[in-house]
Each structure stands twice: as structure tokens, then as C-alpha cells.
Amino acid sequence: MLSTLGLDAASVRVYRTMLAHPQTDFDALQDHLGICEAELRSALDNLSSLALVRRHPDGMERFRTVDPRVAVQTLLARQQARLAAEQERSERTKLAAGELIAELGATDGRRPVELVERLDDAQEIRDRAGALLHGAREEVLTLSPGAFGEDWQRAARLLERELLQRGVRLRTLCLDSVHNSGPDLECARGLAQCGGQVRTAPALPVRFVVVDRRTALVPVDGESSTSGALILTGGGTVTALCALFECVWRGAVPLGGGARERDEHGLTAQAAEALRLLGQGLTDEAIAKRLGVSPRTARRISAELLEALGARSRFQAGCRAVARGWLPAEE
């Protein structure tokens, strides 16, 4: 029954043993259970985060159990709060979906047909991308073009000056980590100096290029340029990508606009995004890819967050971040 409240088998065993032997210290508890220190500490972290046990006030390696009736009521209250938040979010989603359907239904029947074309050959992707950019007449929206490969990036840079001279508006979103890469930062600054608009964000959800709000080039795999790309033509999907770009653009900062301000908790934008990704259960390697930093940097950011929260495990850090208001409960 306790497993339904978020406890694994090891934590349940430790909790039952502590209920039966309330005065047992850490070493005696480990000997009694016959488990390693790391496994016992992990179980105690889990029990502590769920408010089932507390460290003894004498500061020694002793823990005491919370009255099961009180602890279970607390767990139930948290679960009910999460369910209520999820229900509220579901209702908001339904409302937004209804408004979108109503808006689309109000248009006439001349909406363009959705077309999807897959490109698997790297050279073909570069050729088609170049042709799309050459044909731009009004605007090119680029969200983190790195996923299309360095060769494609170099080809795109050659076209930027020509597009700007023709009056095409160029807006590009990069990761904040672009400041840590000399070649990438030089390209971004070159685009800005030529008249393009460049902003940065701590993380980007997907990678794409949209030309004249009618055609989009999207990699099949956002983490790899070798898995092919999709050319999307039509109303709905491209419109959604443009809306996503505008949403991220509003929260981004201009390139070279100075350091971002820390939030009310003293976190940088990058650290706040890393904490959100930690709350979603992502590994340091996955977080590094999202932030555009090295795995070593991602591990350092994670360690600093755990230290700031006074946590010894990621699970405990997540619980404390929610308790302090650093993360919303649904995270």
C-alpha cells in the first residue's frame, strides 16, 4: 500500500523497521537490514522528502519516524493538491483547444493543404535549405540552426547579407551558451552587425527555420543533423511554429545586451532552466544538450543547485524546490 504513495520497496522496508525499532541509530539500522550505506541513505532521503522520517534534533546519525497517521494525511494532501493542479491545467488546455478550433472553423475553405516532405540525404538538405532561403521575400525566423550541421550553417551565413540587402527581415534565436563558443558567437555578432536581429534564451524547445511564414525546415531529430529533415508547407503546423518562435522571442534577451538579471530566488536564467529540467527527471547529459553546454558544466550547475537547496539527492532537491516556491507543484 505504501508503494502507491511514492515509496519503493527498499524505503518501505526501512520505514517498517524504524517503526518496529524507533530508537535504532544509523549504524544499527544498517546492520539490522543488511544493506549498504548508499542504499540506506537513499531510502532515508526518500522517506525524509515524504515527511515520513525526521533527523533527530541531537544532530547525531539518528532518525525518528513521524506518526504514520499524520504522515499519510500529509502525503494524501500533497497528492490531492497535485491532482487539483493537473485538473486545472487540463481545463485550461481544453479551453485553449476550443478557442483554436473555433478560430480555425471561422476561416473560409481556402486554407492551404498541409504538405510534408522528408529529406534524408545531407547534400539534399543543404541544397533545399539554400533554395528556401534564396526564395525568401519577407522574413526568415531561425531557432537554433545548429541542428542542421556546420556545413549548412556556413552556407546560410553566406546568404544572410544578400537577404538583408533585399530587405528580408532576419530574426534568430540562439542559446545563451553561444557566448561560450567563439565561432558561434562570431557568426551571431556578424548577423547582428549586418542588420539581423539576434536574441538568446537559456534553452530552446525545438530547432527549425521558417521562411515567409509559409514553409518550415525542421530536423527529424533535434539532437542530430544526420537523421534527415522535414519540409513543412501549409497553414496549421507552420503557424504553430511561428507562434512558438514569437513566444520564445518575447522572453529572450538581445545578443550583447548584458548579463541576465537573477530571479527572486537568486538564480540565473540558466540555473532556473536547469532546475526545471532536473524537476522533469532529465540526466546531466540531457540537460547539457538542452542548454548547449558541456556535460561537465551541467554537472557543476546541478551540484550548485543541490548545495543551494541543502539537498543530498535530486529527489530531495525537487521536493525542497517546490516547498520554497522555486518550482511549481506540477513540475
What pLDDT digit, counting tens, does each position of 247-300 carry? 888 888 888 765 566 767 778 778 888 888 887 778 888 888 777 778 888 888
pLDDT at residue 208 is higher than 70:
yes
Residue with cell 515524504: 50
- C-beta atoms surrounding 323 within 10 Å: 12
- pLDDT at residue 147 in the model: 43
pLDDT value for 106: 54
Flag whether pLDDT at 323 surpasses 50: yes
Cβ contacts of 207 within 8 Å, gap of 6 or more: 143, 144, 145, 146, 147, 148, 218, 219, 222
The angle formed by the CA atoms of residues 71, 73 and 79, to the nearest 5 degrees, is 105
Report the range of poorest mean pLDDT among 71-80, 106-115, 158-167: 106-115
- Residue 235: alpha-carbon gap to chain centroid: 27
Over pLDDT 70: what percentage of the chain? 79
pLDDT tier at 135 (50, 70, 90 boundaries)?
confident
Mean pLDDT of 144-150: 51
**pLDDT greater than 70 at residue 6:** no
The whole-number average pLDDT for the span 230-247 is: 85
What's the average model confidence in pLDDT over 301-322?
84
Set of cell numbers at residue 33: 537490514
- 53 SS3 class: strand
Classify residue 164 as exposed, middle or buried by CB count within 10 Å of its CB (0-12, 13-18, 19+).
Answer: middle
The whole-model pTM stands at 0.53
Residue 148 banded pLDDT, cuts 50, 70, 90: very low
Query: Who wins on pLDDT, 81 or 14?
Result: 14
Instruction: State yes or no: pLDDT of 95 exceeds 60.
Output: yes
Give the separation between CA 242 and CA 209, rounded to whole angstroms: 10
Does position 109 have pLDDT exceeding 60, yes or no?
no
pLDDT, residue 222, reads: 65
Residue 267 is placed in which grid cell?
A: 538564480
Ramachandran sector of residue 292 (left: φ over 0; alpha: ψ -120 to 50; beta: rest): left
* pLDDT top residue among 13 and 68: 13
